[in-house]
């Protein structure tokens, strides 16, 4: 779909150079109907890459079915790459038709927020819950992209970086807790973890709190920035949807914290114990700790993201 959209844009403008596409669209030299059709296909291709609703069908099954280290990778780094691609194509090349693609992105954002959060509420598998929460986080990321302008795009970049760090911590901790014949991917597997592995429980608490957007964790400021970006772009309705869905999303993250700290520990063969070399464990201690420490560097980080644009 992405390549087909690019071919239509080439047919409309006669070039694949982004700067020339921008100039052609702005100067009226492009065949507008063909350009808009190509833009729609490009937006669909980007949405597939992100896993945004309604192009999300692959994401929960892949997150649950792949090995945890692979899931760790595809949940983090490719999201930054996908945002880079989106900004290159939409902002650099197709900004003259921004009044057409921004509403598309806004609708994708709202659908992802709603379906991602409400579907995650029903999950008992931790990795599948995190997959649907990823869809909701993509909704927040697209909110900044839809808001447009320096503030909107900078907030989207900031959100992508924060989410990549947080997702790496979440799936990394699941990897540490898993062992031969035990994937540690059911929420009930973490019952009473605080009494058995207080450090691991604390790390999970930091990760879940950041994903939920609880201050003073960096996830709170990331969500706040994209909501401000949507408001600056005149998308009040989308900001309201985001705020409501953020409240809904807090429930399933807090459920994991409740299971770890207030439920009775699991006994027997599946009692939770962290494995791995000490260096690996401390790597994830640093990763999870960054979710709190980075809040102190909020302004320099946001200034760096703004400087990109």
Any idea which of 144-153, 192-201, 207-216 has the lowest mean pLDDT? 192-201
Average pLDDT over residues 223-245: 94
Q: Count other Cβ atoms within 10 Å, centred on residue 85.
A: 17
Band (45; pLDDT cuts 50, 70, 90): very high
Average pLDDT over residues 123-141: 92
Cα–Cα–Cα angle for 221, 147, 140, nearest 5°? 45
Q: Is the pLDDT score of 54 beyond 90?
A: yes
Q: What percent of the chain has pLDDT over 90?
A: 58
Question: Would you list the DSSP string of 104-123?
Answer: HHHHHHHHHHHHHHHHHTT-
Are the C-beta atoms of 265 and 274 separated by less than 8 Å? no
pLDDT, position 3: 95
pLDDT digits (tens, 9 = 90+) for 256-281: 999 999 888 766 444 445 555 566 77
pLDDT, position 277: 55
137: Cβ contacts below 8 Å, ≥ 6 apart: 116, 159, 163, 211
Smallest CA-to-CA distance from 250 within 218, 222, 209, 199 is with 209
Q: Is the pLDDT score of 39 beyond 70?
A: yes
pLDDT digits (tens, 9 = 90+) for 88-107: 999 889 999 989 999 999 99
Q: What is the 3-state secondary structure (H, E, C) of 140-157?
A: HHHHHHHHCHHHHHHHHH
188: Cβ contacts below 8 Å, ≥ 6 apart: 124, 259, 266
Q: Report the C-alpha gap between 137 and 25 in whole angstroms.
A: 32
């Amino acid at each position: 779909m992405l390549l087909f959209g690019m071919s239509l844009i080439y047919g409309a403008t006669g070039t694949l150079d982004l700067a020339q596409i921008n100039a052609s669209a702005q100067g009226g030299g492009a065949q507008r109907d063909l350009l808009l059709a190509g833009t729609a296909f490009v937006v669909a291709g980007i949405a597939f890459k992100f896993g945004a609703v309604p192009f999300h069908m692959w994401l929960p099954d892949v997150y649950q079915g792949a090995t945890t280290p692979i899931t760790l990778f595809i949940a983090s780094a490719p999201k930054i790459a996908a945002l880079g691609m989106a900004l290159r194509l939409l902002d650099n090349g197709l900004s003259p038709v921004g009044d057409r693609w921004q509403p598309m992105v806004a609708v994708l954002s709202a659908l992802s927020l709603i379906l991602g959060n409400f579907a995650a509420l029903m999950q008992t598998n931790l990795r599948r819950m995190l997959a649907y929460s990823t869809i909701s986080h993509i909704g927040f990321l697209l909110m900044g992209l839809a808001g447009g302008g320096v503030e909107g795009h900078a907030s989207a970049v900031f959100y992508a970086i924060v989410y990549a760090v947080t997702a790496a911590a979440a799936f990394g901790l699941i990897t540490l807790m898993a062992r031969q014949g035990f994937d540690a991917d059911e929420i009930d597997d973490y019952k009473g973890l605080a009494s058995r592995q207080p450090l691991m429980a604390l790390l999970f608490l930091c990760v879940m709190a950041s994903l939920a957007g609880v201050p003073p964790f960096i996830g709170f400021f990331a969500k706040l920035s994209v909501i401000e970006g949507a408001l600056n772009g005149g998308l009040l309705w989308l900001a309201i949807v985001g705020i409501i869905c953020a409240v809904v999303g807090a429930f399933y993250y807090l459920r994991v914290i409740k299971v770890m700290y207030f439920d009775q520990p699991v006994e027997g063969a599946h009692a939770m114990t962290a494995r791995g070399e000490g260096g690996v464990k401390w790597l994830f201690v640093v990763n999870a700790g960054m979710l709190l420490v980075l809040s102190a560097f909020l302004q320099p980080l946001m200034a760096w993201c703004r400087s990109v644009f």
